[in-house]
A and B are shown apart, each in its own frame.
Chain A
Amino acid sequence: MSRLLSVEGLTTRFPLAGVHVPIVDESTFAIDRGEVLALVGESGCGKSMTALSIMRLVPKPGRIHSGRVELLGRDLLGLSVTEMRAVRGGRISMIFQEPMTSLNPVMRCGDQVVEAIRLHDEVSRKDALARCRELFVQVGIPDPDARLRAYPHQLSGGLKQRVMIAMALSTRPELLIADEPTTALDVTIQAQILRQLLELRREIGMSILLITHDLGIVNELADRVAVMYAGRIIEQGERTDVLGRALHPYTQGLLRSMPALATPGRRLPEIPGVVPSPAEWPMGCRFATRCQLAEDRCRREVPGATARSDNHVASCHAVEEGRAQAPAGGEPEGAAR
């Protein structure tokens, strides 16, 4: 498969309390054509900011500090504002995490999608509207004609999310960045949309950067998984490796705290402690304040990536030194239904 996107050493900083804090710190990953990469991790760890950096939509006062974001060999960070605008919504489109923030409240839903289509394709209004209606049906919006005329506030959370998905797919992008695309949807509609995404990937070779905290969805959709903690990618690999044989103590803790695997009435296993806020990130491994395996070296030195196989790496001293716990994963006792 050929490489579509490659992100290298991407660093995005925000001034916080007078210091420039790397909210996204030296992120490196790649996505091939037709591939689905899932980006998972703690709330606040920088997933959305990674996506916004790729789109060059980092909100002020944040700034991309360094790194490369190559789409088909072309560095997006070097493009002019106009060139970048053409890429956005054309080759790359994004489903934003909070649908209300990206839908225009005073414009009818249908008009918004039609406008998005016509911004990138020279089609008549009538054709754009027909395409829009078809998309509404594909993402499972009941009564599509009425919804074309509805304003965003008249729609439920999940309907707004589906309008967003329709809008993002309307230009048949090569890369879809989907930030928590199905959080507001019940599982039956979610299943329908996930199938739709896989369909498009088969049909037009669309690649997906999928941001989600739902490991069930990761398992359904992803080819590879990258796990982020406090601004850094700390583990990366094939889906079956990361979910089934996780190496990093954080990933292992994440998999253990899934409610789907817990016994009702019993306390959920937690990762002890609090995620440090960006201004207080420890200097060595950022997970060291919460890690049961942390030793002095962890608190001093940033762990480098240790490869367990060509396709599975983790940044952890314990993994490197061979004192990590046995790989843990979602091997379920009665978990799968």
Chain B
Amino acid sequence: MSTNASGPLLRVERLRTWFPINRGLMRRAVGHVQAVTDVHLSVEAGRTLALVGESGCGKTTVGRSILRLEQAQAGRVIFDGVDLLELDAAAMRPYRQRLQIVFQDPLASLNPRMRVRDIVAEGMRSFGIGSDESDRTDRVAHLFERVQLDAAQMWRYPHEFSGGQRQRICIARALAVDPQLIICDEAVSALDVSIQAQILNLLRELQDELGLAYLFITHDLGVVRYLAHDVAVMYLGQIVESGPTAQIFESPSHPYTQGLLQAVPSVDPQRRGGAPPLSGDVPSPSAPPGGCYFHTRCPLVMDRCRSEPPPVASQGAVSARCFLAPGSGSE
């Protein structure tokens, strides 16, 4: 954890968000999708934490639980010293400005009947930003320029834009209310590399200028290596490894992180068909395996991994949930 006197801007502790599985006439809960089981993370002001991991491992649910768009059953979400999970709706309201999210599915998060100018200006109006409507229009135009969209197109509807353009509209909407932290859920995944470069440079500039913090959910490890100060790797609802980006890319401790880094397709035209992908069954989040959650796919699996959950081992700034990780005392 941070030793910073003022503490991190966002600290998530022991977060748990499970979805009930209802069956039958009475819609009784017959089990749970254990989307997020035990998540700890912290993001300092002015820094970027990347949250990476398997599709379906719970990344989006973490982001949505922080903003209370999903109801967490346990844990704490401490933002600037206040536990958001304890607040009532009225007390939560100012935090809906200070924390923004760029949703993973841009089309689904944009009201199809609103012009994009109004979509971007909506938050400004409700938080009293901008003196009047024409001032807000100017601000929208300025935001459009910053995310490389043509300001003349702000009077169009969401369906008239391409996938990547819609993603940038969502980024503009998040920036519009001057937040302190933005949760970016696959926010640049639909962008080709040249626009991606512009947006990533923009996010970095804003961070330098305004001290913005990002929780950056992505599966693009090239982006992570380039942008994030720290990384948290998630597998089946748990953080399995976390620490400074450079260190984790240099020497990943957890076998899942190792598999992830090896699976990145090379851009070298002289090579392809890299390491074989991880094999083994991808377990279900409604019935996670006993012992280490990763043991069904781990190339280094040992007997005890099948029965005993590994502790979180720490060495320096890196923590990993694996018997073989440095610092676990059993490597």
Query: Which residue of A43, A188, A259, A336 is within 8 Å of B277 (Cβ)?
Result: A188
Contacts of A332 in B (CB 8 A): 266-268
A-B contacts counted at CB < 8 A amount to 221
User: Among residues 271 to 288 in chain B, which have CB atoms less than 8 Å away from a CB atom of chain A?
Assistant: 271-274, 277-278, 281-287
Contact A143 B226 (CB under 8 A): no
When the two chains form their complex, are residues B286 and A269 in contact, meaning their CB atoms are under 8 A apart?
Answer: no
List the A side residues contacting B189 at CB < 8 Å. 183-184
**8 Å CB contacts to A: which residues of B241-265?**
245-246, 259-265
Which residues of B lie under 8 Å from residue A142 when comparing CB positions? 56, 281-285
CB of B163 within 8 A of chain A?
yes
A270 at the interface (CB under 8 A from B): yes
**Interface pair B270/A268, CB less than 8 Å apart:** no
**Nearest chain A residue, comparing its CB with the CB of B222:** A260
Q: Is B73 interfacial (CB 8 A cutoff)?
A: no
B192 contacts across to A, CB distance below 8 A = 40-43, 213, 254
Contact of B287 among A98, A101, A143, A255 (CB under 8 A): A143
Q: Does A204 have its Cβ within 8 Å of any Cβ on chain B?
A: no
B268 engages A219 (CB within 8 Å): yes
Also in contact, A259 and B193, with CB within 8 A (given A188-B263, A244-B270, A336-B267)? yes
- Whether A259 and B197, one on each chain, are in contact in the complex, defined by CB atoms closer than 8 angstroms, is yes
Q: Is A300 an interface residue (CB 8 A)?
A: no
- Give the residues from 189 to 236 in chain A that come closer than 8 angstroms, CB to CB, to chain B: 189-192, 194-195, 213-217, 219-220
A98 touches B163 (CB 8 A): yes
Q: Is B194's CB under 8 angstroms from A270's CB?
A: yes
Q: Measured between C-beta atoms, what is the minimum distance from B260 to chain A in Å?
A: 6
Q: Which residue of B lies closest to A228 (CB)?
A: B192
- How far does the Cβ of B192 sit from chain A's closest Cβ, in whole Å? 4
**Contacts A43-B192, A259-B226 hold; do A329 and B259 have CB atoms under 8 A apart?**
no
Q: Which residues of B contact A97 (CB under 8 A)?
A: 163, 190
In the complex the two chains form, is B195's CB within 8 Å of A42's CB?
A: yes
Q: Is A261 an interface residue (CB 8 A)?
A: yes
Q: Does A140 contact B (CB under 8 A)?
A: yes
| Chain B residues whose CB sits within 8 angstroms of the CB of A323 once the complex forms | none
Tell me whether A213 and B226 are in contact (CB under 8 A): no
A43 pairs with B245, CB closer than 8 A? no
Number of chain A residues whose Cβ lies closer than 8 Å to a Cβ of chain B: 77
In the complex, identify which listed stretch (B1-9, B120-128, B147-155) lies at the interface while the others stay far away: B147-155
At the interface, yes or no: A277 with Cβ under 8 Å from chain B?
yes
Checking A100, A188, A275 against B105 with a beta-carbon cut-off of 8 angstroms, the contacting residue is: A100
Q: Are A258 and B163 in contact (CB under 8 A)?
A: no
Is the beta-carbon distance between B267 and A180 smaller than 8 angstroms? Answer: no
Interface bits B120-160 vs A (CB < 8 Å: 1, else 0): 00000000000000000000000000001010110000010
Q: Are A216 and B186 in contact (CB under 8 A)?
A: no
A268 touches B162 (CB 8 A): no
Q: How far is the CA of A276 from the CA of B153 in the complex (A)?
A: 12
A59 to B274, CA, bound (A): 39
Complex contacts, B225 vs chain A, CB 8 Å: 259-260, 264
Indicate whether B108 reaches chain A with its CB closer than 8 angstroms: yes
Closest to A258 in B: B193
Contact B162 A48 (CB under 8 A): yes
Q: Is the CB of A335 within 8 A of B150?
A: no
Q: Are B268 and A189 closer than 8 Å at their CB atoms?
A: no
13 contacts between A and B (CB under 8 A): A43-B163, A98-B106, A100-B108, A142-B56, A142-B281, A142-B284, A213-B196, A216-B265, A216-B267, A219-B265, A260-B225, A270-B198, A332-B268
Q: Residues of A at under 8 Å CB distance from B?
A: 40-44, 48, 59, 97-101, 140-143, 146, 154-159, 161-162, 180, 183-192, 194-195, 213-217, 219-220, 239-240, 243-244, 253-255, 257-262, 264, 267-271, 274-277, 279-280, 329-332, 335-337
- Residue positions of B touching A, CB distance < 8 A: 19, 21, 33, 52-56, 60, 104-108, 148, 150, 152-153, 159, 161-165, 168, 186, 189-198, 200-201, 204, 219-223, 225-227, 245-246, 259-274, 277-278, 281-287
